[in-house]
């Protein structure tokens, strides 16, 4: 299984004390795969049923962790499954 | 340089990490003072005088050198780049409506027992407030940012404070101000019984208690709801940093002595 992909950016590189900091995280996992299972039934007489197929997805959900070396608390304000936005005060 | 690390990981233990450094400018070099608050240099002011009663919504008072008090009785009023001077006995700027903005103003009580701004629904930014008994008399939702409050007047038996919070006042934020306390404190929250202050955030301020009894007064009785005092730089007052009951506040963290950096 492959590692998730993640790209993150801050809305600025320099902040005044107390200013709002916005962190945007774009993430994905390439391991999510759709597969199909096809079933047929055969009896002893050699009769074969019509094939029946079902699809499913192997999920490998991604979690995001945010840590700040200065101890600032980052608060998740939204997450749509591919983009997460956090804020903190400088 | 601090950084924020973002780690994405999946159920199978694979992970990817991104580290983003950032800079927070040193607060000690940026404190509001006479050079970066009040009327911006070069502003040409127009003289006016008398009690100014604002009754039209959306009124903008700009570039005035006004001698007298201002009473706001209409919503969404802005007062900016102006000097307001008065010995009005109660308050220089009083808001009786909603959404008053006071930006880049000098508010001078001329050594009188008055309040600079009162009482609620006000956003104050980059203002220079001085020679009043109390810089702000806070009765309700108020935001004060990047402002300089100093040289408060304690004559005639006055108990001067950078800001005093009225009983039950809530939704108050003081952020990145430089406040030199009067003879009582830089900020005094409601210290009596009954309805207490709530939803208060005091952060990243310089609170100088050199002339005060205590640098700050948090409430003495509770219960309190969401009162947070964090990451401020304190100058100790005559009797200590806090004249209130510190154990009652929701958060007291990151506060340090302005000179030594020692935790307060």
In this predicted structure, what is the pLDDT of residue B29? Answer: 55
The question of ipTM being above 0.90 is answered as no
- Report domain B27-257's class: mainly beta
Q: Is B262 exposed, middle or buried (0-12, 13-18, 19+ CB in 10 A)?
A: exposed
In this predicted structure, what is the pLDDT of residue B215? Answer: 98
N-terminal to C-terminal alpha carbon distance within chain B: 24
A2, A4, A18, A62: best to mutate for the B interface, most B CBs within 10 A: A18
Cβ separation A66–B5 shorter than 8 A: yes
For residue range A28-54, what is the model confidence (pLDDT) as tens digits?
A: 887 777 889 999 999 999 999 999 999
In this predicted structure, what is the pLDDT of residue B24? Answer: 82
In this predicted structure, what is the pLDDT of residue A13? Answer: 86
Per-residue pLDDT of chain B (264 residues), as tens digits, is 889 999 999 888 889 999 999 988 765 558 999 999 999 999 999 999 999 999 999 999 999 999 999 999 999 999 999 999 998 878 899 999 999 999 999 999 999 999 999 989 999 999 999 999 999 999 999 999 999 999 999 999 999 999 999 999 999 999 999 999 999 999 999 988 899 999 999 999 999 999 999 999 999 998 899 999 999 999 999 999 999 999 999 999 999 998 888 899
B-chain residues near A70 (CB < 8 A): 2, 24
B-chain residues near A16 (CB < 8 A): 24-25, 30, 176
The model carries a pTM of 0.68
Q: Which of B168, B142, B263 is nearest to B221 (CA)?
A: B168
Cβ separation A67–B18 shorter than 8 A: no
Residue of A nearest to B11 (CA): A60
In this predicted structure, what is the pLDDT of residue B27? Answer: 53
Which of A8, A13, A62 minimises the CB distance to B18? A8
* CA distance linking residue B153 with residue B237, whole number of Å: 17
Cβ separation B4–A6 shorter than 8 A: no
B-chain residues near A90 (CB < 8 A): 22, 24
DSSP B211: T
Residues in chain A where the model's pLDDT stays below 50: none
Cα–Cα distances (Å) from B65 to B25, B34, B39, B88, in that order, read 34, 17, 10, 16
Residue of B nearest to A3 (CA): B14
Which of A9, A27, A90 minimises the CB distance to B8? A27
* CA distance linking residue A59 with residue B114, whole number of Å: 66
Cα–Cα distances (Å) from B119 to A6, B34, B152, B161, in that order, read 48, 24, 18, 15
| Size of the A and B interface in Cβ pairs below 8 Å | 113
Whether the CB of A8 is below 8 Å from some CB of chain B: the reply is: yes
SS3 A86: strand
* CA distance linking residue B159 with residue B113, whole number of Å: 9
The nearest CA of chain A is from the CA of B148 a distance in Å of 16
Torsion of CA A69, A72, A73, A79, to 10 degrees: -70
In this predicted structure, what is the pLDDT of residue B133? Answer: 97
For residue range B252-264, what is the model confidence (pLDDT) as tens digits?
A: 999 999 888 889 9
Residue of B nearest to A28 (CA): B8
> Domain segments of chain B: what residues?
27-257
B-chain residues near A33 (CB < 8 A): none
SS3 B127: coil
């Amino acid at each position: 299984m492959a590692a998730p992909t993640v790209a993150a950016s801050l809305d600025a590189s320099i902040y005044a004390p107390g200013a709002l900091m916005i962190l945007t995280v774009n993430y994905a996992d390439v391991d999510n795969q759709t597969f199909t299972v096809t079933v047929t039934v055969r009896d002893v007489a050699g009769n074969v049923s019509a094939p029946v197929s079902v699809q499913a997805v192997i999920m490998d959900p991604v979690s995001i962790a945010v840590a700040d070396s200065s101890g600032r608390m980052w608060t998740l304000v939204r997450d749509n499954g591919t983009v997460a936005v956090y804020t903190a005060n400088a | 340089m601090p950084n924020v690390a973002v780690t994405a990981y999946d159920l199978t233990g694979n992970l990817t990490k991104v580290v983003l450094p950032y800079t927070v400018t040193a607060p000690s070099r940026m404190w509001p003072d006479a050079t970066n608050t009040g009327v911006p240099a070069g502003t040409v002011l127009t003289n006016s005088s008398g009690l100014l009663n604002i009754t039209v919504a959306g009124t903008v008072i700009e570039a005035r050198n006004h001698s007298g008090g201002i009473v706001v009785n209409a919503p969404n009023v802005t007062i900016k780049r102006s000097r307001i001077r008065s010995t009005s006995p109660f308050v220089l700027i009083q808001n009786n409506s909603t959404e008053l903005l006071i930006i880049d103003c000098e508010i001078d009580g001329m050594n009188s027992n008055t309040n600079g701004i009162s009482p609620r629904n006000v956003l104050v930014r980059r203002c220079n407030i001085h020679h009043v008994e109390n810089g702000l008399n806070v009765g309700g939702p108020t935001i004060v940012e990047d402002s300089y409050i100093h040289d408060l007047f304690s004559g005639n038996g006055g108990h001067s404070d950078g800001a005093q919070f009225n009983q039950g006042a809530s939704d108050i934020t003081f952020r990145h101000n430089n406040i030199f306390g009067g003879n009582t404190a830089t900020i005094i929250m409601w210290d009596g019984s009954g309805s207490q202050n709530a939803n208060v955030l005091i952060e990243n301020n310089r609170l100088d208690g050199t002339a005060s009894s205590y640098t700050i007064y948090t409430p003495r009785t509770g219960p309190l709801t969401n009162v947070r005092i964090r990451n401020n730089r304190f100058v100790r007052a005559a009797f200590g940093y806090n004249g209130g009951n510190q154990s009652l506040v929701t958060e007291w963290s990151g506060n340090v002595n302005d000179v030594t950096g020692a935790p307060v």
